[in-house]
Amino acid sequence: MDKPELIINGKRLDGRTPEQLRPIKITAGPIRNAAGSAYIEWGTNKILAAVYGPREALPKHTSDPDKAIIKCRYTMAPFSSLEEHGRPGMNRRAIEISKVTKEVFENVVLLDLFPGNEISIFVEVLQSDGGTRAAGITCAAVALAASGIPMRDIPYAVSVGKAGDTLILDMNKTEDNYSNADMPVAINPRTKEITLLQMDGELTPEQVRQGMAMIDKAGETITRIQREALRRPYEKVQEKYKASI
């Protein structure tokens, strides 16, 4: 198949401008049995995240007597993608994404408060359309905050790519397949610390700078949506009684 034209008259395949995000909707707390949970709809991506713990780290040899450990499991449902995703469960890609997601949260959660314990983060992709690692991190951050586990910040993640010579933000699956570069980034919005930076393809240093500026701007929107999702359950009760907090 020939490479499709990704940008026509300044608009992308789905009608967005290069620096436009897909619509994002986050719900906090859909899973009752988890300590914290969240559901995200990012464009047509649909992802559930759940957090359990802190609880005793098992098997025992994985525990750290000085701090808690984070275990993360990112999986795609067998029906999540248009392509055949094969057997359910972990594959090479899922193991890699689980690892990078874990490392994002190791830099955010105050682990030294719970020595010998583990915090389990599960990210389940129900429907995928590109950018699921970024959406998964954004969703898991809300789930962690909802669980009451102390955190330094609520990180967000988003990717930037290159179609021809144009930088495009938040690529969908088609753009991901035919773009010249893909760079997912996770950032702590308060301190602007970068906790995830991966890249496929080629970008010049100037393009990386431009891409980071686009991510920074989009981060304001994503952070606002994350915070609104966390506030909504409490505001609902408030509205019910028309009372102050």
**Under DSSP, is residue 54 helix (H, G, I), strand (E, B) or coil?**
strand
Under the criterion CB under 8 A, does residue 191 sit at the interface with another protein?
yes
Residue 193 near residue 105, CB atoms below 8 Å = no
- Strand ranges for 14-146 from DSSP E: 24-28, 36-42, 45-56, 69-76, 117-127
Under the criterion CB under 8 A, does residue 31 sit at the interface with another protein?
no
Q: Provide the token pair at 41.
A: 């709809």
Under the criterion CB under 8 A, does residue 58 sit at the interface with another protein?
no
Query: Smallest distance, Å, CB 53 to another protein?
Result: 7
Please count the residues of this chain forming the interface with another protein, following the rule CB under 8 A. Answer: 38
Question: Among 10, 59, 65, 86, which residue sits at the site for another protein (rule: CB under 8 A)?
Answer: 65
Contacts with 131 (C-beta within 8 Å, 6 or more apart), sequence order:
42, 43, 45, 158, 159, 170, 171, 172, 176, 184
Question: Among 58, 95, 113, 213, which residue sits at the site for another protein (rule: CB under 8 A)?
Answer: 113
Question: Among 23, 88, 150, 201, which residue sits at the site for another protein (rule: CB under 8 A)?
Answer: 150
Under the criterion CB under 8 A, does residue 56 sit at the interface with another protein?
yes
- Cα 121 to its chain centre, rounded Å, is 12
Question: Among 13, 151, 199, 208, which residue sits at the site for another protein (rule: CB under 8 A)?
Answer: 151
How many residues are there in the chain? 245
Question: Among 50, 125, 137, 145, which residue sits at the site for another protein (rule: CB under 8 A)?
Answer: 145
- Cα 224 to its chain centre, rounded Å, is 15
Query: Smallest distance, Å, CB 241 to another protein?
Result: 6
Q: Which residues bind another protein (CB under 8 A)?
A: 36, 53-56, 65, 68, 110, 113-117, 145-154, 188-191, 227, 230-231, 234-235, 237-238, 241, 243-245
